[in-house]
Structures are given as C-alpha cells and as structure tokens.
Amino acid sequence: MYLLDSSVLIDALNNRHGRPQLLARLSEQNILLACCSVNITEVYMGMRPGEEAKTGKFLRSLEFYAVTWEIAKLAGDLFRRWRGKGQTIGLADVTIAATALAHNLVLVTDNEKHFPMPELQLLQLPNPVLDE
C-alpha cells in the first residue's frame, strides 16, 4: 500500500504533472493508495470554491489512516531526532512520515528532502518545480 504525500494529492486533483495517470497506473497494478488525516487537512486548506464534491469523492476513494496516539508520539520523536541533527522538519511532514512508518507504507512524494528518514520507504517522483 502507498501513502500519498499531500503535494501528489493536490497535483492529482488539479490534473498536473501526470499525477492522475500515475495513480491510475498504480491502481492498475493492484497497489492500494492511501491518505492520512494530515493530507485531508492540507488539501482542504488549499481547496477553491466549487471543488468540494470532486475533492471529497477523490479523497474518500483512498484508504484512510488516522493519526493515533502512537503515530503522534512517533512524529514527535522523529522531529526531535532530526532537529538534533540540524534539520527541522515541519509538523505535517513528520506526521505523514510517522503514519507511513507505523503502517509500513511506501510514501509517494516529490519532496524527498522533507523525508530524510532512512527507515522510510519512498517512491520518489520527479519534483515538477525543480524540473520546469
């Protein structure tokens, strides 16, 4: 199962950078796609008027992982560990990483620098901002 980073979800919803086609290919390979509560929050934060139905339908089509007490603790542990190494990782990213780690999910992202944890399995996508 693959956990989708928020940037991948947003690009898929906006039909950018081939993300809808990528998700379709993954689904055709019987790879289950998932999101977590942080993804829902980030997507809804940037949603424009009139996109509610499409956004809700898309997000509800994905497997959903809630942030449990254990995941929240792991996110805090990850934050402290990487801050101690001189790298501050945002709350959303450490929580997404903790969700993936807690459930042994591959994280699909185009922001590898936000997820430096060697124990995290990544499907690294090209970063469209850097590739333009």
Q: Which residues pair with 65 in a beta bridge?
A: 36
**For residue 7, what is the domain's CATH number?**
3.40.50.1010
Surface-to-core class of residue 19, CB atoms within 10 Å of its CB (0-12 exposed, 13-18 middle, 19+ buried):
buried
Beta strands per DSSP E along 66-128: 106-109, 122-124
- Give the mean pLDDT of 86-107: 97
Structural domain includes residue 131? no
Q: Which domain holds residue 47?
A: 2-126
Is residue 56 a part of any domain in this protein? Answer: yes
- The model's pTM is 0.92
> Looking at the domain assignment, is residue 103 inside a domain?
yes
Would you say residue 128 has pLDDT above 50? yes
pLDDT(126) > 90: no
In a domain, 132, yes or no: no
When divided into structural domains, the chain yields a total of 1
**Each residue's pLDDT tens digit, 42-88:** 999 999 999 999 999 999 999 999 999 999 999 999 999 999 999 99
Q: Is the pLDDT of residue 31 over 80?
A: yes
